[in-house]
Amino acid sequence: MNKKFVIAIDGPAASGKSTTAKQLAKKLKYIYIDTGAMYRASGLCTMLQNVNLNDEAVLKNMLKKISIKIEYAEEGNRIYLNGEDVSERIREADITKLSSQIAVIGMVRRKMVELQRKMGKNGGVIMDGRDIGTVVFPNADFKFFMIADVRTRALRRWKEAKEKGEIIPLKEIEEELIWRDKNDSTREISPLKQAKDAIPVDTSGMTIEEQVQFIYNKIE
C-alpha cells in the first residue's frame, strides 16, 4: 500500500473511533490525528484564559494566538496547548462537556478545520472526529462512520475509567453520552452525521481487533 491515503473516521463519542484509528495508524504506518482533542484543547484554552464564549472579539483573539500541537508517540499521542502538555487534563469531565459546547461556534470550527487540513494535506493520515468526511476532507480516499448502541459505549467508558482507578456510575456516563450525541448532532454548523459515501461500521458486537481488521480489509 504505497499511496498515502486520507482516511476519515467519524461517529459519536465512544463508538470505537480513536482506539481503532490508533491501531490502524500503527498498522499502516500512518499519522493519527484525534480532532476531538483539538476541540478539547480549545475548550481548555477558553477556561484558562477566562474567555467568555459570547465575547466574539476576545474569542477571535484567543484563536489567533492559539497553538495546538500533536506529538506522535508510540504509547499514545501527546497534545500541547500553547506549549504545555495537556494530554491528561483535556480528558476530564468538565473539558469533555466544554469541548462539545465550544464546537458549536463557527469561528472555532473554522480555525480547527484550517489546522486539520494543514495537518492532513500530504496524506498518510487517519483523522477521527465528527465532520472529517463531511467537511474537513469531503474528498477523503476512505470514509468510515462508526456507531454503537449507547449501553455498549457507556460500558467502554466505564471500563476505561475503572482502569484509571475511577468509579463513575454507568447511568451518569450514559446520560453524558446522550447529551453530547444530541448537542453534536443537532448543532447548525457541521453537525455529526454520516457522509453519503461513508461506510457504516456498527461496533456494538465487535472486538477492537475485529474493528481494525474490518477497516483494514476495506482499504486493502
Q: What is the C-alpha to C-alpha distance for residues 190 and 186, in angstroms, rounded to an integer?
A: 9
Q: What is the C-alpha to C-alpha distance for residues 57 and 173, in angstroms, rounded to an integer?
A: 35
* Cβ proximity of 145 and 8 under 8 Å: no
Nearer to ligand DC, 63 or 103 (CB): 103
**What percent of the chain is helix, strand and coil (3-state, nearest 5)?**
50, 15, 35
Residue 120 as a binder of ligand DC (CB under 6 A): the answer is no
Residue 20 as a binder of ligand DC (CB under 6 A): the answer is no
Residue 143 as a binder of ligand DC (CB under 6 A): the answer is no
Residue 24 as a binder of ligand DC (CB under 6 A): the answer is no
Residue 35 as a binder of ligand DC (CB under 6 A): the answer is yes
- Backbone φ, ψ for residue 149 (5° rounding): -70, 160
User: Which listed residue (30, 39, 137, 158) binds ligand DC by CB under 6 A?
Assistant: 39
| Least CB distance to ligand DC at residue 195 (A) | 12
- Collapsing DSSP to helix, strand or coil, 126 comes out as strand
Binding residues vs ligand DC (CB under 6 A)? 13, 35-37, 39-40, 99-100, 103, 129-132, 180, 184
